[in-house]
Amino acid sequence: MKHQALPPIDIDRQPGHAIRRLHQISVGVFLQEAGDLGLTPVQYATLQTLANQPGIDQRTLARNIALDASTTGGVVDRLETRGWLERRTSPDDRRARQLFLTLSGQQALTDAVPVMLRAQEQILAPLSEPERDEFMRMLGVLITQNNELSRAPSESSAERRP
């Protein structure tokens, strides 16, 4: 039985492949910039979210940063072990735990912000200002319109309409 030859497909022209590559580059740049801090992009997102919304619970954190619950649990455990966040019993529901940055967590975030901003600048450096704005606008459209297709949809991106 003879197989029909498949037409060649340029994977570099496939959006999924390009997005995966850009994600690799983004993580690589962040880790290069933040190497001395020992902080990952997801840990940074967690610290920043807790700074923005002190006292949120782990489930809300997971939805806000678009992670599944078990991954979020591991991130929270690691940050708590480092002394950067603490869990407190909710005054409204003794079963619920609220998350707060500790003073050392606030300092870690303070140290991380300039590093994160440098990483973002480096990622976008090949684009002009108008191109950056358009790129971010188009990313927002893709994320918002495809949010429900994610294995861990984000509530925060669903609320932002570009």
- Domain extents for the chain? 32-125
The arrangement of secondary structure in 32-125, i.e. its CATH architecture, is Orthogonal Bundle (1.10)
Q: Which residues of 28-54 are buried (b: 16+ CB within 10 A; e: fewer)?
A: ebbeebbeeeebebbbbbbbbbbeeee
Q: pTM here? A: 0.83
Give me the phi and psi of 97, to 5 degrees please. -115, 130
CA angle 36/110/133 to nearest 5° reads 95
> What pLDDT score does 162 carry?
43
Other Cβ atoms closer than 10 A to 78? 15
> What pLDDT score does 89 carry?
87
> What pLDDT score does 152 carry?
76
CA angle 116/120/126 to nearest 5° reads 155
> What pLDDT score does 156 carry?
66
CB 145 within 8 A of CB 154: no
Residues (pLDDT < 70) of the chain are 1, 156-162
> What pLDDT score does 106 carry?
96
> What pLDDT score does 135 carry?
96
Distance CA 112, CA 45 (A): 10
> What pLDDT score does 95 carry?
82
> What pLDDT score does 102 carry?
97
> What pLDDT score does 140 carry?
92
Chain CA centroid to CA 160, Å: 15
Q: Which of 54, 58, 77, 78 is nearest to 68 (CA)?
A: 58
Distance CA 65, CA 60 (A): 9
> What pLDDT score does 158 carry?
44
